[in-house]
Amino acid sequence: MFATPAYAQAAGDMSGAAAFSQFVPLVLIFVIMYFLLIRPQQKKLKEHKAMVDALRRGDSVVTAGGIIGKVVHVREDGEVEIEIAPGVKVRVIKSTIAQVLSKTEPAAANSN
């Protein structure tokens, strides 16, 4: 009527190889998720940080809110002053810059 104790003990016994084979799909899923999601996101974040750090006066930019303007002043405290119309300047946080439309050429060094 009930299983004998010998059968119950035999069913619960797992070898090391069987336990390892149960974790292989989980490890495989994590590796796939890393290469498809985590790594590209980190790369994109690194490129955005480099773009924001390279901002300088005269660059045309688009903010995350969709405002297009020209950089007037880059501040050290993480802010950028953008001119969106003649005489209209707004301060935005550097990280909200979504795209740089046109870069200005660096000023030529004087050979004096």
pLDDT tens by residue, 20-41: 888 899 999 999 999 999 999 9
pTM > 0.85: no
Question: Is 108 a domain residue?
Answer: no
Asked if residue 64 and residue 45 are part of one domain, the reply reads no
Q: Give yes or no for residue 15 having a pLDDT over 80.
A: no
What are the two backbone dihedrals, phi and then psi, of residue 33, each rounded to the nearest 5 degrees? -65, -35
Asked if residue 43 and residue 68 are part of one domain, the reply reads no
Beta strands in the chain (DSSP E): 60-63, 68-74, 79-85, 88-93, 97-102
Asked if residue 37 and residue 14 are part of one domain, the reply reads yes
